[in-house]
A and B are shown apart, each in its own frame.
Chain A
Amino acid sequence: GDSVTQTEGQVTVSESKSLIINCTYSTTSIAYPNLFWYVRYPGEGLQLLLKVITAGQKGSSRGFEATYNKETTSFHLQKASVQESDSAVYYCALGGANYGNEKITFGAGTKLTIKP
């Protein structure tokens, strides 16, 4: 089967410090995984933050970056300097190039809290 693991359920970082949220994936059914980060800000619906469909490539959005590493099967989310507005829940997800969205597998999410 397919799975996405986010090791930290909660992360607290001081404003202007750097951030890394870990994500690893496993798949037995998808030959060319596509990887996503979704984010849920307080009071809003879950929304796409960034997407990478090619191994070795990096995606970026709103100052966040994530590199698709096929060797380590990882897709960690990083930001050099966080802001209070980045407080949200972040979900890593895995899909397949030839599959519909109903096959997307989500991680359990990491709640990010930024300390002022």
Chain B
Amino acid sequence: ETAVFQTPNYHVTQVGNEVSFNCKQTLGHDTMYWYKQDSKKLLKIMFSYNNKQLIVNETVPRRFSPQSSDKAHLNLRIKSVEPEDSAVYLCASSTGRSNERLFFGHGTKLSVL
């Protein structure tokens, strides 16, 4: 049963445009994440938010920014998309405790033309 909701499912845009993806979880979890799944199918962590505090930010370009209004929501904004941003973006949540299971959304597939 889905408890992490992502919108949109798909998005096609052109280089230089701004896009925003939404994510909401109904599990009452304290921590949310954004992952990028590239063309090689590797899942790479982009951001992690715990109680609205950014707790990890890997080597992600500055045009990416997470936005959270409360612990149930974590949106992802990409300012001025580039072709290499084409990927599937997965949102997830967890209790935040070490190695507790991650709950994922269905993903948002971004295509940059």
Give the B-binding residues of A (Cβ under 8 A): 9, 34, 36, 38, 43-48, 51, 53, 91, 95-104, 106-109
- Indicate if B45 sits at the interface (CB-CB under 8 A): yes
Choose, from B12-20, B35-43, B63-71, B73-81, the stretch at the interface. Answer: B35-43
Given A45-B4, A46-B90, are A95 and B99 also a contact pair (CB < 8 Å)?
yes
Q: Which residue, B94, B96, B98, B106, has most C-beta atoms of chain A within 10 A? A: B98
Count of residues in B whose CB is under 8 Å from the partner chain = 26
Partner of A101, one of B2, B42, B43, B48: B48
Q: How many Å lie between the Cα of A53 and that of B98 in the bound state? A: 11
Contact A109 B105 (CB under 8 A): no
In the bound complex, residues from chain B placing their C-beta under 8 Å from that of A107 are 42
5 nearest CB pairs, A to B: A46-B104, A102-B48, A106-B43, A102-B56, A48-B101
